[in-house]
Structure formats: structure tokens, C-alpha cells
């Protein structure tokens, strides 16, 4: 029988040992796409965290009401509702961030992290535990994206917090527009590949290696890119038991 975790443990697991990006390898598309700027990363991270927290709470409240056969469509409707609310708020108060995130903001609806936590956790646990799980996973996602964005923006653009006024304008601060680091260092030019796709994959791999190393020292297994365990549909997949070889492919039939 699995050991029951405290609310603190449910929250902390998403920060490192079960980080949704660096350990479970979920949500890599928005991670790579929005991590070219620290401001974009913060905006995406906060959006995903709010949707995760709210959707986990509602799904947990309705877990005994939603029929098993329609749980996935029901989860998607709940998640989509909160994504729509967040998007409308961003459009109203931070239009520059909405333009920067573009299509990746509404695509939070199909982010594997949200559906994965709904299916694997919120649909099976009580409200407080689900809220702690959603908040921890959201902050873990935000931290991973922010770390990637810091590296990519610094080396790829030579700046830090470029366009910060788009966020700080909510608090009446419009004078701070970021730090141009390389402008103060003669002869140093940005490494443009860091803001391109290859730089994103390189940074992602580097951070994943660091997260794996830290987790291994704590007695955790390495993240498995092809493992069924990271799939939000694993519990309902017909290939998981006896038909999946662990790499996402059907095992050869005898």
C-alpha cells in the first residue's frame, strides 16, 4: 500500500523530484516556444499555474460526479473554461504579453501537464491534496521555464527581463524595460543560436541532466523520455499492460 503523503510533500514533489518538465518530460512544446524571454516565461508559468490550481480543485470536487466514461472530455471542458478566463484577463490587462505568447496561451488547454494531473491525481484525491499538487506542479513548471528563459535570453539576446514593463505596468511601473547586459561589455556579441530551436533543445537537455543528477542523489530514477508513466492517458491506454514495451510501441505478439 502506497504511503500517504502530507500536503507539503504533495506540493514539494513538483518542484524537483517530479518536476513536470525536467522529470516527467511533459509540456515541452510551450516550454521550448516561450522560453526565449524571461518575461514570456513568467507570463506562461503564472497562467499554467493558475489553470492547474483551479482545474485541479474543480475536478477533485466533481470526481465522484463525473462518469468514468466521459471523464477526459469533462476534464478538457473544465480546463478550457479556466484557460479562456485567464486569456481574457491577459488580453484586458497585459495585451503585450498576450501578443508575445500568441497561440501558446490558448494551447494551454491541450498541455499534457494539466490533463496529466487531472487524470493521474485530481480525479482520485481530495481537494486540498489536489490543490497542493496543482500549485506545486505549476510552480515547478514556472521554475523550469524561467531557468531556460534566463539562459537563452542572456546568451541569445544579451539581455535580462527585456520587456519587463509589459508586466510591471500592472503595478504602475513602466520605467524598467530590462537590462542590456552585453552593451556594457565591449566586443561581446549575443550567441543567436540560443534563441533558436537548437539552443532551446540544448538548454533543455542541460537542465534535464542537472535535474536528473540531483534527483539521483536523492534516490530517484532517471527521467525516461519514452516511458508510459509520463503519459496522461497511461491509466486508460490499452497498450500499457502487456502491449507496450516501455518505449511507446506495441510489443511483438507471440
Do 216 and 228 reside in the same domain of the chain?
no
Q: Write out the DSSP string of 108-138.
A: GGG-HHHHHHIIIIITTS-HHHHHHHHHHHH
| Domain that includes residue 236, residue range | 224-254
Q: Which residue bears the cell 540544448?
A: 202
Do 141 and 254 reside in the same domain of the chain?
no
CB 121 within 8 A of CB 234: no
What would the grid cell of residue 110 be? Answer: 491541450
pLDDT above 70 for 234: no
Backbone torsion region of residue 102, taken as left when φ is above 0, otherwise alpha when ψ lies between -120 and 50, otherwise beta: left
pLDDT above 70 for 94: yes
pLDDT tens column, 15-72: 888 899 998 889 898 899 999 999 999 999 999 999 999 999 999 999 999 999 999 9
pLDDT-derived band at 159, boundaries 50, 70, 90: very high
Angstrom distance (rounded) from CA 169 to CA 93: 9
Do 163 and 240 reside in the same domain of the chain?
no
pLDDT tens column, 162-199: 988 888 877 777 888 888 888 777 778 889 999 999 99
Do 213 and 253 reside in the same domain of the chain?
no
Angstrom distance (rounded) from CA 45 to CA 20: 12
Q: Is residue 241 part of a domain?
A: yes
Which regions of 52-175 does DSSP assign to beta strands (E)?
A: 159-160
pLDDT-derived band at 231, boundaries 50, 70, 90: low
Q: Is residue 78 part of a domain?
A: yes
Burial bucket for residue 202 (CB in 10 Å: 0-12, 13-18, 19+): middle
Angstrom distance (rounded) from CA 24 to CA 211: 11
Do 200 and 240 reside in the same domain of the chain?
no
Mean pLDDT value across the chain: 84
The total number of structural domains in the chain stands at: 2
6-10, 124-128, 157-161, 184-188, range with the lowest pLDDT: 184-188
pLDDT tens column, 98-154: 888 888 899 898 888 999 999 999 999 999 999 999 999 999 999 999 999 999 999
> pTM for the whole thing?
0.84
Q: Is residue 178 part of a domain?
A: no
Do 92 and 212 reside in the same domain of the chain?
yes
HSE-CB for 233 with a 13 A CA cutoff: 10
Beta bridge partners of 179: 160
- Mean pLDDT (whole number) for 209-227: 73
Do 78 and 122 reside in the same domain of the chain?
yes
Q: Is residue 183 part of a domain?
A: no
All residues at 6 or more sequence positions from 115 whose CB lies less than 8 Å from its CB, including other chains: 72, 75, 76, 79, 232, 233
Do 134 and 27 reside in the same domain of the chain?
yes
Amino acid at each position: 500500500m502506497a504511503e500517504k503523503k502530507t500536503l507539503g510533500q504533495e506540493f514539494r514533489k513538483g518542484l524537483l523530484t517530479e518536476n513536470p518538465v525536467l522529470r516527467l518530460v511533459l509540456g515541452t512544446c510551450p516550454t521550448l516556444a516561450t522560453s526565449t524571454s524571461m518575461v514570456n516565461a513568467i507570463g506562461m508559468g503564472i497562467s499554467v499555474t493558475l489553470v492547474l490550481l483551479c482545474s485541479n480543485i474543480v475536478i477533485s470536487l466533481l470526481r465522484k460526479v463525473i462518469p468514468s466514461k466521459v471523464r477526459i472530455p469533462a476534464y478538457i471542458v473544465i480546463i478550457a473554461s479556466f484557460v479562456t478566463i485567464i486569456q481574457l484577463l491577459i488580453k484586458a490587462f497585459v495585451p503585450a504579453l498576450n501578443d508575445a505568447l500568441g497561440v501558446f496561451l490558448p494551447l494551454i488547454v491541450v498541455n499534457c501537464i494539466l490533463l496529466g494531473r487531472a487524470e493521474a491525481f485530481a480525479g482520485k484525491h481530495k481537494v486540498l491534496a489536489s490543490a497542493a499538487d496543482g500549485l506545486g506542479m505549476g510552480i515547478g513548471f514556472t521554475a523550469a521555464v524561467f531557468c531556460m528563459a534566463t539562459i537563452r535570453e542572456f546568451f541569445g539576446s544579451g539581455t535580462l527581463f527585456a520587456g519587463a514593463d509589459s508586466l510591471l505596468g500592472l503595478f504602475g511601473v513602466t520605467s524598467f524595460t530590462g537590462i542590456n547586459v552585453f552593451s556594457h561589455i565591449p566586443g561581446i556579441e549575443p550567441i543567436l543560436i540560443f534563441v533558436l530551436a537548437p539552443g532551446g533543445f540544448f538548454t533543455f537537455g542541460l537542465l534535464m541532466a542537472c535535474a536528473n543528477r540531483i534527483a539521483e542523489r536523492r534516490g530517484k530514477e532517471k527521467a525516461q523520455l519514452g516511458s508510459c508513466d509520463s503519459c496522461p492517458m497511461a491509466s486508460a491506454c490499452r497498450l500499457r499492460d502487456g502491449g507496450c514495451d516501455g518505449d511507446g510501441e506495441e510489443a511483438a505478439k507471440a
